[in-house]
Amino acid sequence: MRVCGVNDITDGAAKSFMVTGRQVAVVRLGDTYYAIGDRCSHANFSLAEGEVDAKDCSLECPQHGSRFSLTTGVPATLPATKAVPVYSVRVEGDDVMITSEPVS
């Protein structure tokens, strides 16, 4: 399903979208897009409001600093210990498309 246009997200940033009743954070790193569950598994805070780290391909929760992998959803730092969902992303023309259900 379409979530946004390729230019709707600034390079190196994240933006939250509602997808089939779930908040999903879509992240842009260059021409590559990632989508993970937008709620921190530790504090239920919006991950899209956190910092994107292009070097280790992660998104940091702004509440307590847990960093989640954009490819696996697994937290790399405490206090979070549980992974967030990851969605498959593809670009079709100028549209960013994601699966309606998480792949992990």
Domain that residue 13 falls in: 2-98
More confident residue, 36 or 101: 36
Is 60 part of a structural domain of the chain? yes
Q: How confident is the prediction for the chain on average, in pLDDT?
A: 97
- Please answer whether residues 17 and 23 qualify as being in contact, where contact means their C-beta atoms are separated by less than 8 angstroms: yes
Q: How far is CA 53 from the centre of its chain?
A: 12
- N-to-C CA span, the chain: 17
d(CA 16, CA 61): 13
Is 85 part of a structural domain of the chain? yes
Is 104 part of a structural domain of the chain? no
Mean pLDDT, residues 39-50 taken together: 96
Is 103 part of a structural domain of the chain? no
Q: Domain total for the chain?
A: 1
- For position 40, which CATH number holds? 2.102.10.10
Quick: pLDDT tens for 54-100. Answer: 999 999 999 999 999 999 999 999 999 999 999 999 999 999 999 99
Number of Cβ within 10 Å of residue 23's Cβ equals 14
Candidates 55, 5, 74, 56; CA nearest to 33 is: 5
Q: Which residues are paired to 58 by β-bridges?
A: 53, 69
pLDDT of residue 104: 85
- Please answer whether residues 6 and 91 qualify as being in contact, where contact means their C-beta atoms are separated by less than 8 angstroms: yes
Is 68 part of a structural domain of the chain? yes
Name the residue with tokens 């280790």.
56
